[in-house]
A = this chain, B = another copy of it.
Amino acid sequence: MNDRSGMNHRRIRVAQFGLGPIGLEAVRLAASRGWLEVVGGVDIDTKKVVQSLGALTGDAALNDAPVVADFEQLWQQAKPDVVLHTAGSSAAQTAEQIEPMLARGVSVASTCEQMLYPWLRAPEAADRLDAVGREHDARVVGTGVNPGFVLDLLPVCVSGVCRSVQRVYGERVVNASTRREPLQRKVGSGMEPAAFRQRFAEGKAGHAGFQESLALIAHALGWPIGAIEETCDAVVTARSIRTQYFAVEPGLTCGLHQIVRAATADGRTIELDLKMYLDAPNPHDAIHLDADPPVDLILPGGVAGDTATVAALINAIPPLLAARPGVRLMTELGVSCCAEALAGTPAATVAAT
């Protein structure tokens, strides 16, 4: 049993793999945590490699944190305990990137969407990572907000008060006008609807990790599922829409409507419904369990995306390090919570009361 009791005695050494906007935001948040020490970064972009994390983030305290071109160099210079991985959606590609980390005994928290449930698209890579992690006392988990929380971890968590569940339904409506340019682009803003549908069919558009959300729910509930159906249609605007980044004329795509569904042999179903489009009214997240007892849950406004994704990534570190080695699922970790400070002993929390 690795209880990592050292966590309260020295700071956890964390490095960042992938220095795009999300990666840099993760570095900034990590640097603000007293229990973390940011020791370096990795990016394959050689322009970034000549700079320190201080230069990339504007945080002078990180001027001594090197930026290098591959993990092995980072390992030699900085010996991280944990790597935050924010570099792509493909589990197969992520597995190649992080296997050397696990082999060094370094654990990994990743925003790679397919890593939420890597056995869906890359079962062999998942098994291999699992074996390497177990051999070297390292663990890896895929996390985030969507996938990673609202449409997977949250419904699973809520089912904990149910005697039986017949149907899991989750929906998320995002007003893309309030989001970053890459998200507005990702949902197809301004494209011809036929062109958007074609891009989805080619696997080049749409929300990544949606099937993984469904698979995680099915797995946690112990439901062996048949094929996962996934559809994605363009949302077409009837009026002109103008955002900070896009101008969309009537008849063109202003976002997407994506659905995943699966059923068990005995007729239980999971359905997740995602709408992300410009000027979407009533943004929210909602979960409905046809269950005993039934449970309805609404998050008015919905959980913000990017800023919360970085929080989820950092907050996963303490339960990840306490988990058993190998490839872990978010449902297997202790509850990930806002970790501005690390918890001490249960006795110390209430000593003054």
Contact = CB atoms under 8 A, between A and B. Distances in A.
Interface of A: 1-3, 29, 117, 119-120, 123, 126-127, 145, 149, 153-154, 156-165, 211, 215, 218-228, 262, 291-293, 295-301, 303-304, 307-312, 314-316, 322, 324-325, 327, 329-344, 346-353
B226 A352 contact: yes
Given A161-B311, A165-B338, A219 B296 contact: no
Contacts of A350: 117, 119-120, 123, 215, 218-219, 225, 228
Given A224-B348, A226-B353, A310 B119 contact: no
Q: Enumerate the 8 nearest inter-chain pairs by beta-carbon distance, A residue then B residue, closest first.
A: A222-B341, A159-B338, A160-B336, A293-B304, A161-B308, A219-B349, A119-B346, A162-B338
A151 to B, nearest CB: 12
B347 A127 contact: yes
B149 A160 contact: yes
A29 B163 contact: yes
30 contacts: A1-B1, A119-B346, A119-B349, A120-B350, A127-B347, A157-B157, A159-B315, A159-B338, A162-B338, A164-B340, A211-B353, A218-B349, A218-B350, A219-B343, A220-B343, A221-B337, A221-B343, A222-B339, A222-B340, A222-B343, A224-B352, A225-B349, A225-B353, A291-B338, A297-B299, A298-B299, A298-B300, A331-B334, A333-B334, A335-B335
Nearest to A229: B353
B222 A353 contact: no
Main secondary structure of the interface of A (DSSP, over half): mixed
B311 A163 contact: yes
B225 A352 contact: yes
Copies in the assembly, this chain = 2
Nearest to A215: B350
